[in-house]
Structure 1
């Protein structure tokens, strides 16, 4: 007789589990040598899981600090992807700055960087450079196209990765009008793949297997999601094309407009098909075009026309309530303003609204709900906010630190002050992918 399984379902369906024990990554030390979005998002995930993350940035500051775009002076969200981190402002191109980095690497578990391929090695801070003194270090490089291959030295950004990976060729309207994904999926996705690789390598390192080098690329990360499209092409030999909101292998599985101008999506396959017909009050059982799931897929365009005619007779909320009651998968097409006030997301803490705590009106949480994950906790650091404490921890006395500040090797400030810049020279900033 099998042993009874333990019920791990949360006690309440309306509240997340209470945190207990220590955060998953408590005590794990991360060097964050990143800029833009992919690298910082990777280290933000690690931070939200409890790691101690030290952001390394030039004494002139990360490229995104304080930047404003357009006549409205809209801020680029530096704070959103550097929350809870510490900041050390240091010129890694200087000999003394590189020495500081090597010292920090010896005290760290993970290093994440997203310079151009080979840039860290040219500074003497590549994985092979650090490995002799840091045999257990997990080193993650994030770039546009990876550390080897004919595209190694090409610049990679989110737009290019979406196009190169094939994703853009299948994204857009059914008439062939291409579109970029609305979210920066290659940046965010690569950050996630980086975090997955880092955590797997950390397990091995903690088990005595030594450190590891993790190489993740924006183009790879998006191309790896092409499961449906690759299967379709291999099976048919026909290049997949954009389908709007429709599914590549099933129907009805797309968006429809309702009488109030709002839009919903449905996925009425298998048994949900009959339930959908019942809710809409249509009988298509005698139409051979819709007799089987495959036939409905083949004839998805005329089917969509029939369904659209019915959905246009009532409001979105009416249809969603009725369809859900009948067990038909469906949901609203929400706008960004709507997701920020959505009750489901609010209960799960996906968006935190506390400007005093985070320094921003709203932050987007890491979507891992657990009794051991602290998630977003505080605001991003000021430039060089932790320089003094970090250097003191490495054994630097006050006089030596002051000399480094005067010579422009490091920058230091308190949270609310500008960095100390006396005698600073211009320094190159990070060049993230």
Structure 2
């Protein structure tokens, strides 16, 4: 059966996906959307005590969104025959992605050194909670734990409420994207050297990298970042304000934008106010400034201010919930939501690839696969005949 390729950008790249949960599938989803042949390797029923992570609700939106454009095969890696098949697949693969605990690879004989001995061009991407070595290497990685350890929770929320987790899986998602970038860099370098390499990404390091300017402020200025609610820690006025019918998101950073804001809301005299003369002073006197702005914005609705301020060159927008966000005209224009169908024919909606390429764009051509849907097909590609495949089923290897 010929596989429908989602894009020509990564056509011909074969990826063996051994990962679970979110960070790994996020990584390989990007590769699949741009045309890589991603083979999702999953254990047969009853082998993995945590099989509910990948076996339950496969037709649900989250699983479908994470695993579209991939193929699925079942393979029992606890059996020598299963490991032998995996290593046979590595012979013709370009990338292997896994998020096991670091010691598991060595125990199974699928660590980088072992895979390189099979295929010197192979790229192994290892995703972990805390890194491949070090004092925490053996710990299980979980997004919320890493949000706390990586500093994100300390700067999220309000000072009076204490640390707060972000509403999305920041550590998982960012790690998946960093790993995908690493794989693409390794593929490009392989074009020059002819050799693969080991790509590593951890939730902890990725989360700290996402903290970006907050950590840089402390390292270079000694400024300890704290939770500031919806206010920006170093710019003002920049936050959420009360309009007549809802919340207005305002981003008036920088002196030029501040002057335009004052003119747009008919308070040019604020430019000359000594307490608002510079950005640091506006941050220092934020309480008074925010109070005055709330009084002004309360006179009209959100859409009035969004139109007026953007026309004046002042960034502003509404604060949407998810249904409102999806109804926004620009969101619809961008084609954020894609309609597709599961293997059983049920309609389902997924989120499109946010990276746009002009000549070789990503696309969504198949829904997430059924459990082991392509096992026989993939084994046939590895030169197993029908009798051998039937025997592997009888031995519960697949």
TM-score (norm 1): 0.85
Counterparts in 2 of 1:227 and 1:378: CA distance versus 1, 3 Å: same
Counterparts in 2 of 1:174 and 1:279: CA distance versus 1, 3 Å: farther
Is 1:380 paired with 2:365?
no
Specify which of 77, 81, 94 is matched with residue 66 of structure 2: 81
Q: Which residue of 2 aligns with 1:141?
A: 126
Q: Which residue of 1 aligns with 2:185?
A: 200
Could you say what secondary structure the match of 1:139 adopts? Answer: strand
Q: Take 2:286 and 2:188, find their aligned partners in 1: how far apart are those partners?
A: 47
Question: How big is the shift at 1:390?
Answer: 1.1
Q: Which residue of 2 aligns with 1:402?
A: 390
Supply the RMSD in Å over aligned alpha carbons: 2.0
8 Å CA contact 1:264–1:330 kept in 2: the answer is yes
Could you say what secondary structure the match of 1:36 adopts? Answer: coil
Question: How big is the shift at 1:230?
Answer: 2.1
More helix by share: 2
Question: How big is the shift at 1:356?
Answer: 6.2
Question: How big is the shift at 1:168?
Answer: 0.8
8 Å CA contact 1:144–1:219 kept in 2: the answer is yes
Q: Which residue of 1 aligns with 2:3?
A: none
Question: How big is the shift at 1:206?
Answer: 2.0
8 Å CA contact 2:130–2:203 kept in 1: the answer is yes
Where do residues 341-352 of structure 1 align in structure 2 (5 Å cutoff)?
Answer: 341-352=327-338
Specify which of 162, 174, 177 is matched with residue 162 of structure 2: 177
Could you say what secondary structure the match of 2:52 adopts? Answer: coil
8 Å CA contact 2:237–2:251 kept in 1: the answer is yes
Q: Which residue of 1 aligns with 2:108?
A: 123
Could you say what secondary structure the match of 1:186 adopts? Answer: helix
8 Å CA contact 2:131–2:137 kept in 1: the answer is yes
Is 1:363 paired with 2:350?
yes
Where does the alignment leave 5 or more consecutive residues of structure 1 unmatched?
1-20, 69-73, 411-433
User: After alignment, is 168-177 or 111-120 more displaced?
Assistant: 168-177
8 Å CA contact 2:7–2:33 kept in 1: the answer is no
Question: How big is the shift at 1:229?
Answer: 1.4
Specify which of 223, 230, 237 is matched with residue 208 of structure 2: 223
8 Å CA contact 1:252–1:269 kept in 2: the answer is no
Question: How big is the shift at 1:401?
Answer: 0.9
User: After alignment, is 116-125 or 211-220 more displaced?
Assistant: 116-125
8 Å CA contact 1:91–1:409 kept in 2: the answer is yes
Q: Which residue of 2 aligns with 1:11?
A: none
Where does the alignment leave 5 or more consecutive residues of structure 2 unmatched?
1-5
Question: How big is the shift at 1:76?
Answer: 6.8
CA offsets 1:55-88 (integer angstroms, 9 cap, x no match): 00001285334536xxxxx947222111111111
Q: Take 2:387 and 2:342, find their aligned partners in 1: how far apart are those partners?
A: 35
Q: Take 1:162 and 1:112, find their aligned partners in 2: how far apart are those partners?
A: 23
TM-score (norm 2): 0.92
Counterparts in 2 of 1:219 and 1:22: CA distance versus 1, 3 Å: closer
Could you say what secondary structure the match of 1:225 adopts? Answer: helix
Q: Which residue of 2 aligns with 1:246?
A: 231
8 Å CA contact 1:146–1:152 kept in 2: the answer is yes
Is 1:64 paired with 2:64?
no
Where do residues 37-48 of structure 1 align in structure 2 (5 Å cutoff)?
Answer: 37-48=22-33
8 Å CA contact 1:79–1:379 kept in 2: the answer is yes
Specify which of 142, 149, 165 is matched with residue 157 of structure 1: 142
CA offsets 1:176-196 (integer angstroms, 9 cap, x no match): 532111111111100000000
Could you say what secondary structure the match of 2:317 adopts? Answer: strand
Q: Take 1:398 and 1:266, find their aligned partners in 2: how far apart are those partners?
A: 63
Q: Which residue of 1 aligns with 2:274?
A: 288
8 Å CA contact 2:157–2:163 kept in 1: the answer is yes
Q: Take 1:230 and 1:317, find their aligned partners in 2: how far apart are those partners?
A: 35
Question: How big is the shift at 1:321?
Answer: 0.5
Q: Take 1:114 and 1:402, find their aligned partners in 2: how far apart are those partners?
A: 30
Q: What is the number of equivalent residue pairs in this alignment? A: 385
Could you say what secondary structure the match of 1:381 adopts? Answer: coil
Q: Take 1:239 and 1:352, find their aligned partners in 2: how far apart are those partners?
A: 42
8 Å CA contact 1:79–1:360 kept in 2: the answer is no
Specify which of 36, 41, 46 is matched with residue 51 of structure 1: 36
8 Å CA contact 1:258–1:316 kept in 2: the answer is yes
8 Å CA contact 2:94–2:121 kept in 1: the answer is yes
Q: Take 2:111 and 2:346, find their aligned partners in 1: how far apart are those partners?
A: 34
Could you say what secondary structure the match of 2:126 adopts? Answer: strand
